[in-house]
């Protein structure tokens, strides 16, 4: 890590407590889906600020462009057309997809490389490329299917929540670029308060299930959504209803890790001790002599046959 | 495969050069896989990745070493499988494993080229290498990152880890036995064992080998010690 930073909450694959004397406010980005007009200014701002270029793709009959997150596209507008049976309206649900910056990040839990994934005290989860080994474990750890591995440099990439901008008191590039104010940035508490105002407004306009998406299964997130149908988050391009780190990953990175080390260590120690103290399993002189007789006998039998 | 009367000792050929080369390629691959796998398995062992240059190199090399292991073990399997089919005598031998561990092999039935324990090791290694290779393909992100779903890859990871732990336990038993039973290592280093070793541990095999013929490499015929000495 190039810059001296003393505000880590977690560092991947390390057993020691990270340096964390400096404490910042917990930050959050709030994406108000009901205010989004799908202009993709956030996508463009993300490419521009991070100096990324996406390949020119092909049109597959949907507005999503590119069709999925890539090592260069860290945020992506996902468009869903949904017929609301209750109101009879066709609703165009547009969700800005990207890293949710979980309080309990599955990517960080799965990562085997010390310091390749860090979580700052302000809640931002960041990939540190020089420590990344390109194994793809973070992809399996993530409950939101966000990280992407570059085939060119074999490093994992995702939204940084513009940690470079935030560290100098700026809002993320996407929030700065949003023309409708659908993306706002501030402390987590301020964003929760702001969301309450938006939810009250939406409810007054008939969206009785309006609510905030801050899933407790991952300890809450530092990117939150205001949804008009918070009771059905899957409507929004399969936003998971109750995301949590997969039990398989928990088992792999939890019990298996410790039990496996213990089992192998114990077996090696037992073998060593037994080999040292047990009676030697050695050939006796008598057996050497008996072998000679047996060889003579059998050789004779062989000659007769 | 020959029984040889040498000047100082009698030896029995156990492994040809081809089998030994294969065995050691497999063994070295397995050790490299264990070291690189351990580096990716537990943070406390990540330092082992520096033996391979870096974490990235470890991640890149580990699956390829696995391919080498699969290929060399496949040949080893073909070379050894015909001696490893299970018999009733093996069941009997396994029931008396306690006697083996305490060094009382004299109470056991005569053993062919391999005893029950060795056969179990052989089949366990075969099974585990197949499981490790299959799950290894699922989690080989470089080439198969999009071939399998993320959920399948998660299961691939835990199965790979569990199979690797089982494999290490089997390997520990294998190495331990080779050291504990004195004289065994020669089979894989020089390719031959002493007559006494074969008599003690694999008597049935010794009988079969001796029946095929004995080569006398002694320069001078053995001296007759008395009137009761056996006539040749």
Chain B residues with CB under 8 Å of A154 CB are 56, 60, 142
Strand pairing category for A27-32 and A183-187: antiparallel
**pLDDT means over runs of 10, chain A (305 residues):** 72 88 89 96 97 92 94 97 93 97 97 96 95 97 97 96 94 97 97 97 95 97 97 96 96 94 94 83 90 92 86
Which CATH architecture best describes the domain A8-253?
2-Layer Sandwich (3.30)
Q: Where in chain A are the domains?
A: 8-253, 255-304
Answer whether B211 touches A (CB < 8 Å).
yes
Question: Which structure tokens are listed for A267?
Answer: 């077996």
* B155–A15 C-beta distance less than 8 A: no
Answer whether B176 touches A (CB < 8 Å).
yes
Q: How far is B187 from chain A (nearest CA, A)?
A: 15
At residue B7 the predicted structure's pLDDT band, cuts being 50, 70 and 90, is confident
Q: pLDDT per residue over B132-174, tens digit each?
A: 999 999 999 999 999 999 999 999 999 999 999 999 999 999 9
Strands (E), chain B: 3-5, 10-13, 192-194, 214-216
Q: What is the pTM of this model?
A: 0.91
What percent of chain B stands above pLDDT 70? Answer: 93
Residue A80 per-residue DSSP state: E
Say how far apart CA A113 and CA A134 lie, in whole Å. Answer: 10
Q: pLDDT per residue over A246-290, tens digit each?
A: 999 999 999 999 999 999 999 999 998 988 887 778 899 999 999
Q: Is there a contact between B214 and A291 (Cβ–Cβ < 8 Å)?
A: no
How many CB contacts within 8 angstroms connect chain A with chain B?
Answer: 171
Strands (E), chain A: 8-11, 27-32, 75-83, 90-98, 117-120, 125-127, 148-149, 156-157, 183-187, 211-213, 223-227
Q: How far is B3 from chain A (nearest CA, A)?
A: 8
Answer whether B106 touches A (CB < 8 Å).
no
Q: How far is A8 from chain B (nearest CA, A)?
A: 18
Q: What's residue A290's pLDDT? A: 93
Q: What is the topology classification, in CATH, of domain B17-180?
A: Fumarate Reductase Cytochrome B subunit (1.20.950)
CATH 1.20.950.20 range(s) for chain B read 17-180
Measured in degrees and rounded to the nearest 5, phi and psi for residue A71 equal -60, -20
Start-to-end CA span in chain A (Å): 78
* Interface predicted TM-score of the whole assembly (ipTM), two decimals: 0.92
Q: Is there a contact between B106 and B112 (Cβ–Cβ < 8 Å)?
A: no
Q: Is there a contact between A114 and A12 (Cβ–Cβ < 8 Å)?
A: yes
- Say how far residue A33 (Cα) sits from the centre of its chain: 22
From chain B residues 116-155, the ones with a CB under 8 A of any chain A CB are 139, 141-142, 145, 150-151, 153-155
Angle between helices A285-304 and B203-211 (to 10 degrees): 40
Is B96 assigned a catalytic role? Answer: no
């Amino acid at each position: 890590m190039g810059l001296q930073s003393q505000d880590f909450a977690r560092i991947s694959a390390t057993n020691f407590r990270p340096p964390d004397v400096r404490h910042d406010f917990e930050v959050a980005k709030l994406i108000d889906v009901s205010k989004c007009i799908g202009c993709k200014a956030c996508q463009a701002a993300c490419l521009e600020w991070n100096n990324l270029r996406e390949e020119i793709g092909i049109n597959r009959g949907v507005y999503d462009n590119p069709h999925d997150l890539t090592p260069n596209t860290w945020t992506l507008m996902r468009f869903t057309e949904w017929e609301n049976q209750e109101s009879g309206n066709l609703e165009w649900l547009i969700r800005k997809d990207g890293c949710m910056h979980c309080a309990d990040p599955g990517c960080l839990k799965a990562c085997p490389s010390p310091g390749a994934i860090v979580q700052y005290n302000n809640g931002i989860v960041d990939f540190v490329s020089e420590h990344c080994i390109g194994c793809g474990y973070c992809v399996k750890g993530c409950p939101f299917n966000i990280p992407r591995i570059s085939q060119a440099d074999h490093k994992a990439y995702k939204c940084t929540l513009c940690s470079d901008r935030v560290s100098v008191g700026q809002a993320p590039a996407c929030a700065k670029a949003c023309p409708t104010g659908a993306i706002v940035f501030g402390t987590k508490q301020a964003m929760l308060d702001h969301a309450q105002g938006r939810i009250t407004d939406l409810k007054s306009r008939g969206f009785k299930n309006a609510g905030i998406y801050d899933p407790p299964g991952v300890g809450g997130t530092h990117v939150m959504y205001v949804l008009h149908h918070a009771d059905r988050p899957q409507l929004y391009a399969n936003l998971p209803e109750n995301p949590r780190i997969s039990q398989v990953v928990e088992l792999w990175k939890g019990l298996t890790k410790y039990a496996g080390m213990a089992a192998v260590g114990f077996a090696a120690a037992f073998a060593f001790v037994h080999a040292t103290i047990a009676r030697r399993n050695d050939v006796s002189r008598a057996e050497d002599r008996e072998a000679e007789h047996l060889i003579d006998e059998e050789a004779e039998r062989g000659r007769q046959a | 495969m020959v029984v040889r009367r040498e000047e100082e000792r009698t030896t029995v050929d156990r492994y040809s050069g081809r089998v030994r080369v294969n065995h050691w390629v497999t063994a070295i691959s397995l050790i490299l896989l264990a070291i690189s796998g351990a580096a990716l398995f537990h943070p406390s062992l990540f330092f082992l990745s520096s033996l391979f240059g870096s974490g990235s190199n470890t991640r890149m090399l580990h699956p390829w070493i696995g391919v080498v292991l699969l290929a060399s073990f496949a040949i080893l399997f073909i070379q050894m499988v015909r001696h490893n089919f299970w018999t009733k005598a093996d069941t009997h031998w396994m029931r008396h494993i306690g006697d083996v561990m305490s060094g009382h092999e004299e109470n056991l039935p005569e053993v062919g080229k391999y005893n029950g324990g060795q056969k179990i090791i052989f089949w366990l290694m075969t099974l585990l290498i197949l499981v490790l290779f299959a799950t290894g393909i699922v989690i080989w992100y470089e080439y198969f990152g999009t071939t399998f779903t993320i959920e399948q890859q998660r299961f691939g990871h835990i199965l790979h880890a569990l199979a690797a732990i089982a494999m290490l336990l089997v390997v520990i038993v294998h190495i331990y036995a080779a050291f504990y039973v004195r004289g065994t290592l020669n089979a894989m280093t020089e390719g031959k064992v002493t007559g006494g070793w074969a008599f003690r541990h694999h008597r049935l095999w010794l009988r079969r080998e001796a029946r095929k013929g004995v080569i006398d490499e002694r320069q001078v015929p053995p001296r007759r010690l008395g009137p009761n000495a056996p006539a040749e």
